[in-house]
């Protein structure tokens, strides 16, 4: 299940608090990462999904171009991820509801239009079960994994160090590469790609 009422969660459609400081290309990669996670049947956005999001970019995108120059493609990385974590379930609960004509996104939009944008988050925050807060539900978005959260923070730090207010795809990749125990780095190493070498290639591009 997905997490609701969590400031580090991504809402359906990919919206998050991080979207305010991503440039258009990085924002596109963020939304693509969310779609990849959903399509794979995962309930979180991790560094592995952010890597997939970056691979959705055009060939002339700095981050996508560097990854492509090392032979990495969207299909190759997605296939590696499916081998490690498994693919989408045959029919998840969201898809099952859709076959019955139930659109969770439409329901959420209707509830928020009537009761306010934070109504569902507030509902889950108030509910408790066995003395513990019930912070999960089908109307919530994807949870942001701790390593992905850290990668995004490091990406923002990289942008600030270059005196830019918005995070670029190069900054995103820089943040991912800094998370040594993240799955994105593990995938890169599985393809014999040296994260340190990628960082060296990214530095002049990120500074630009």
Statement to judge: residues 129 and 26 lie in one domain: no
**Same domain for 16 and 80?**
yes
Whether 38 and 79 map to the same domain: the answer is: yes
Query: Is 46 found in the same domain as 70?
Result: yes
pLDDT confidence of residue 63 = 94
Question: Does residue 188 lie in a domain region?
Answer: yes
Determine the pLDDT at residue 95: 63
Establish if 1 belongs to a structural domain.
no
Q: Specify if 52 maps to a domain.
A: yes
Looking at residue 118, its pLDDT comes to: 63
74 and 27 fall within a common domain: yes
pTM beyond cutoff 0.85 = no
Flag whether 177 is in a domain: yes
CA 110 → CA 1, 43, 95, 164, 190, distances in Å? 21, 23, 19, 37, 45
Using the 3D structure, point to which of 69, 104, 133 is the last residue of a domain: 133
Burial class (CB in 10 A: 0-12, 13-18, 19+), 11: buried
Range of the domain at 164: 9-88+141-207
**The pLDDT of residue 136:** 41
Give the number of domains in the chain.
2
The alpha carbon torsion through 156, 117, 145, 158 (nearest 10 deg) reads 0
Residue 116 lies in a domain: yes
What is the residue-level pLDDT of the chain in tens, covering all 208 positions? 344 444 444 543 444 455 578 999 999 999 999 889 888 888 889 999 999 999 999 999 999 999 999 999 999 999 998 888 876 655 455 565 566 666 767 766 776 777 776 665 555 444 444 444 333 444 455 788 999 999 999 999 999 998 999 999 999 999 999 999 999 999 999 999 999 888 888 876 555 5
Same domain for 124 and 84?
A: no
């Amino acid at each position: 299940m997905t997490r609701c009422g969590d400031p580090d969660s991504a809402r359906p459609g990919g919206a998050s608090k991080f979207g305010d400081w991503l440039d258009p290309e990085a924002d596109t990669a963020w939304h693509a990462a969310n779609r990849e996670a959903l399509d794979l049947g995962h309930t979180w956005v991790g560094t592995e999904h952010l890597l997939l999001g970056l691979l959705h970019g055009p060939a002339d995108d700095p981050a996508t171009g560097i990854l492509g120059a090392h032979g990495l493609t969207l299909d190759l990385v997605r296939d590696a991820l499916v081998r490690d974590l498994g693919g989408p379930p045959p029919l998840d609960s969201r898809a099952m509801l859709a076959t019955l004509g139930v659109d969770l996104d439409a329901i959420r939009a209707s509830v928020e239009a009537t009761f306010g944008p934070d109504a569902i988050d507030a509902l889950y925050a108030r509910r408790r079960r066995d003395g513990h807060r019930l912070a999960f539900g089908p109307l919530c978005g994807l949870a942001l994994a701790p390593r992905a959260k850290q990668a995004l923070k490091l990406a923002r730090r990289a942008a600030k160090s270059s005196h830019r207010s918005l995070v670029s795809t190069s900054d995103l990749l820089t943040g991912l590469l800094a998370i040594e125990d993240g799955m994105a780095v593990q995938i890169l190493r599985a393809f014999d790609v040296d994260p340190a070498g990628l960082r060296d290639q990214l530095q002049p591009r990120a500074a630009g």
